[in-house]
Structure 1
Amino acid sequence: MKKILVGLLILGLVLGCTPKEPVNTSKTVDELRLALADYDLKEILEDVNVAYQIFPISFATSDTDRLGDIRGIINKLDYLNDGDPDTDTDLGIQAIWLTPIYPSQTYHKYDILDYKAIDPKFGTLDDFKELLAEAHKRGIKVILDMVFNHTAYDHPWFKAALKGEQPYVSYYRIEEKLDLQEYPTRNAWKNAGGKFYYAWFWEKMPELNLENEAVREEIRDISKFWMDLGVDGFRFDAAKHAYNPDEYPVGTPVLERNLQFWMELRLFIKEYKPEMFLVSEIWDTAQNQAPYAHAYDTMFNFDFGEMVISALNVGNHGNLIQKHLDNVKRLTDRNPNYVDSPFLTNHDQNRVMSLFAGSVDKAKIAAGLLLTMPGLPFIYYGEEIGMLGVKPDERIREPMRWNDDITSEVAYWNQWIYNWETPNVIEQQADENSLWTHYRDLIKLRNTYADTFVWGELEQVTMRNSSVLGYYRFDENNRFLVVANFYNGPMVGEFDAEVFAKTEPIFTLGEVSIDADKINLSPRAMVVYRINP
């Protein structure tokens, strides 16, 4: 009997010491939606009015290798915001989003080899800590790109998975065979040594198995690592592709699984560090973004930029403000605390200045619309000086034109093909009529009246002219009227003479005058009026 008891005791100890598979205790989508309902972004973004996207390799270099790096970004923080609202040599932004800075074999770094390190070409972890400290001194929050859809092909996890090593085989979407009825679409499935792995974007980016609780725990651990360092926010890459329809067997509720994953991650992050800001890339229309309204604090508004660019190119506003309001309402109907993030173009799209065929006038109107919208607008680096670029991708990510000296802080890793003639930062800072000055002045206006422009109401008004757009921005303390001429010729709009009589111009582009109930605008003119009581 004693031997039996001793044997059972030893067996119990052995079993107790054996590592257990993670237990999935996931909440349902409905439970998560309820848990996330009260998260209000207003406190988190209290002092954040404009964000700026940096593509690190192209932004600024600190040495002679011509590669943009973290120290180069540190050296240019005063360009973004010097911490003094009375100076006029900085843009005045309050947040930067860095595309991936992790070790990778590509220039864009979206195929990550190590989620808890800095690519040596960009610097060190100590450099990044200094960036955080210096940015925070200036009132700038730092948002990191998080790529949880896929890893690099040469990531240690995937190397182990291809060798059949546990637990890493189940870290990825790997199948020994693909049944035609379960996987009728196989374009994104790649063959490696007789095994099939899923890679929707590129064969060198195998996709993680987010159904695996061990993978989710890895993601939580990665998130904690950067939150503990002092990062202020995450941008989630390719979020709608976390669960692709052809990635799982036919009949899998991929939308529900995708929502559950992202909402669960958001809840974890908010419980760990409530002040974190979470923005996501769901590259789709507002209608298709709507189910994700509780999954993130905000999503990039792809519809907005497309509507603005199209309207300016045809010279007709097409009621874009009302359409914009309808789009945002699709999300706020689902989550009243949702905040919009409009932008013009980003690192995956042809640059806005090229879409305007080099028209500075159109670019100025587009900037005026962007920077008077509610929410948190994002500016793509170089947009403020009118940098050009048309795909392939390297051409829309050309080096920032600080000056004409490619041996200076210019990160000349890639040639200027489209931007040899683009006026540089130094030239534009000295020109009171430049696009850069226009951006700076608009951002200053937004910062001055942040409560109204960031959080206030938006309402389109009728100007009885399809080329003249008018809209109110207002809250309990202020009311502004914005009017813009989309046409490359003088235009007249009509409005309420009593309202016009109470207006005071606080920002003007071009020539604008009021005559009773009429407003006369020169080609592509714009004005922001404060309406006095």
Structure 2
Amino acid sequence: MTVITTFLLLSLSLNKKTDWIDDATIYEVNLRQYTEKGTFEAFREHLPRLKELGVEVLWFMPIHPISEVEKKGELGSYYAVADYKEVNPEFGTMEEFKALVEECHDMGFKVILDWVANHTGWDNQWITDHPEWYTQVNGEITIPAGTNWTDVADLNYDNEEMRQEMIDALVFWVEEADIDGYRCDVAGSVPVDFWEDARVALDKVKPVFMLAEDGSNYSLLDNAFDANYNWYLLDSINTVANGGRASAIRSDIRRAAAVYPDGTFPMNFVTNHDENSWNGTTEERLGTSRNLMDALVFTAPGIPLIYSGQEANLNKRLLFFDKDEINWSDLSKQDYYERLIDLKKENEALWNGSVGGDLTFIDTTEKSILAYVRTKDNNNVVFIGNFIDQVTEFTLKSFDESGQYRNYFTSEEVTLEEGINLELGPWAYYILVRD
């Protein structure tokens, strides 16, 4: 038996300020596609349902005005920011957004905004007033290197004045709208020391939660960010769903335990706005393994993400630059995600980062079976999944936490012990709890 001790030491003081994140699930809000009107006011009608769902952190994709110059599609990209201190009139007014944040807080939600620090749209006033704030090639402002993002202009982080204006804009939304943090777009393309300076400035206003859209530069987590993207796990999920070996997922969990700074953690997900629009729906990519992969996301170390429409069994790629409303007529998966969120909240072994439990892999006789137990004090949660599309019989070769467990979804009492023989159907799983 191999023991993976995740995030054992006390968190850095930076990462312990926002203790509301400890048992939280993040929910990404694609405001444009959420309702027919696509406004703050229309979205408010969904807050009671989201409260019932149990998500605690609402991540809003960028709410800023979108540049008209070089705009893609009819409505343009959220990520082509025309003004960092204004609200996109497509969504409503500043006052309506502030009222939405206040209502979210009153209901127990936290609100984080999507922030685009790497580039701006082409009609952002900064380009006119301060062209030196942008990356230039042969005297011409350029798009971000290595991309086809023709609707945005790359910012120059060698310019100290620009850095200060960007930090000022980040602080603005915390002071003016009382938001609770940021998800930061392409965070790894912006210097680490900028993010560290920004975090200090933000925490002077109030403790915030910071999520980096980055999966490999762990220095971002030393002093600036609390969490990043678990792209390694997502890649393995996609691979295993299409015939790859479950050992890839096991390796990803081992890697995460070794590389994350104390008090930080990955964000686990099977989809988000980019995955859905550009790489395919969960049905396209994962097929009948979807529920298994969701169960993995909620039991492996890290904070889970739900994207707009997952609970409505979203079965189409949402257009990125044009209106493409989510169909909410089928909420067949709402109860399923509610159960997974409750599972996380009710079991400290599954909490995020250093407040969660250790992970111990359970060896079995079959390579398609991935099994582990999360342990925190007297709370044990066992996950056993069959990562193949056929019925599998197997034996637990090693298991130190023998005893009576409760099947979380059926409430059936189960005795687990070393040497027990079990069977799982295609892409099936057990979640077993002892507390």
- Shorter chain as normaliser: what TM range? 0.7 to 0.9
2:30, 2:308 within 8 Å by CA — same for their partners in 1?
A: yes
State the Cα deviation string for residues 402-437 of structure 1 (Å, max 9, x = none): 12xxxxxxxxxxxxxxxxxxxx22xx2xxxxxx332
Aligned pair partner of 2:373 in 459, 464, 472: 472
- Distance in 1 between residues matched to 2:12 and 2:359, nearest whole Å: 24
Aligned pair partner of 1:484 in 380, 385, 391: 385
Aligned pair partner of 2:30 in 55, 79, 84: 55
State the Cα deviation string for residues 204-227 of structure 1 (Å, max 9, x = none): 311222222211121121112101
* Regions of 4+ moved over 6 Å: 512-516
Unaligned runs of 5+ in 2: 1-10, 69-74
The aligned amino acid for 1:507 is F
1:265 aligns with 2:193: no
The aligned amino acid for 1:157 is W
1:213 aligns with 2:160: yes
The aligned amino acid for 2:344 is R
2:349, 2:379 within 8 Å by CA — same for their partners in 1?
A: no
Corresponding residue number in structure 2 for 1:116: 85
- C-alpha change, 1:394 and 1:519, in structure 2 (3 Å) is farther
Corresponding residue number in structure 2 for 1:198: 142
Q: Whose relative contact order is higher, 1 or 2, with alpha carbons under 8 Å and at least 6 apart?
A: 2
Unaligned runs of 5+ in 1: 1-35, 61-65, 82-89, 161-167, 178-194, 243-257, 404-423, 429-434
- C-alpha change, 1:450 and 1:513, in structure 2 (3 Å) is closer
- Distance in 2 between residues matched to 1:49 and 1:451, nearest whole Å: 13
Aligned pair partner of 2:44 in 68, 74, 78: 74
How high is the TM-score relative to the length of structure 2?
A: 0.85
1:304 aligns with 2:233: yes
1:153 aligns with 2:122: yes
- C-alpha change, 1:135 and 1:311, in structure 2 (3 Å) is same
Q: After the TM superposition, which residues 266-345 of structure 1 pair with which residues of structure 2 at under 5 Å, given as runs?
A: 266-273=199-206, 275-282=207-214, 284=215, 288-294=216-222, 295-314=224-243, 316-330=245-259, 332=260, 335-345=261-271
2:362, 2:399 within 8 Å by CA — same for their partners in 1?
A: no
Q: After the TM superposition, which residues 18-167 of structure 1 pair with which residues of structure 2 at under 5 Å, given as runs?
A: 38-41=13-16, 43-46=18-21, 48-60=23-35, 66-81=36-51, 90-104=52-66, 105=68, 106-160=75-129
SS in 2 for 1:314: coil
- C-alpha change, 1:394 and 1:383, in structure 2 (3 Å) is farther
State the Cα deviation string for residues 272-323 of structure 1 (Å, max 9, x = none): 32x20111112x5xxx322322231111111111212222332741251342
State how many pairs are aligned: 404
How far residue 466 of structure 1 moved from its aligned partner, in angstroms, is 1.2
1:494 aligns with 2:395: yes
1:322, 1:460 within 8 Å by CA — same for their partners in 2?
A: no
- Distance in 1 between residues matched to 2:172 and 2:328, nearest whole Å: 34
The aligned amino acid for 1:141 is K
- Distance in 2 between residues matched to 1:134 and 1:279, nearest whole Å: 23
State the Cα deviation string for residues 427-476 of structure 1 (Å, max 9, x = none): x2xxxxxx332212111111222454432222221122111211111111
- Distance in 2 between residues matched to 1:102 and 1:121, nearest whole Å: 9
- Distance in 1 between residues matched to 2:24 and 2:371, nearest whole Å: 22
How far residue 42 of structure 1 moved from its aligned partner, in angstroms, is 6.5
- Distance in 1 between residues matched to 2:392 and 2:37, nearest whole Å: 47
SS in 2 for 1:336: coil
SS in 2 for 1:303: helix
Q: After the TM superposition, which residues 347-386 of structure 1 pair with which residues of structure 2 at under 5 Å, given as runs?
A: 347-349=273-275, 350-356=279-285, 359=287, 361-386=288-313
How far residue 497 of structure 1 moved from its aligned partner, in angstroms, is 7.7
How far residue 112 of structure 1 moved from its aligned partner, in angstroms, is 1.1
- Distance in 2 between residues matched to 1:315 and 1:151, nearest whole Å: 39
How high is the TM-score relative to the length of structure 1?
A: 0.70
1:44, 1:277 within 8 Å by CA — same for their partners in 2?
A: no
SS in 1 for 2:13: coil
SS in 1 for 2:217: helix
Identical-residue share of aligned pairs (%) = 25
Higher normalized strand content (fraction of residues): 2
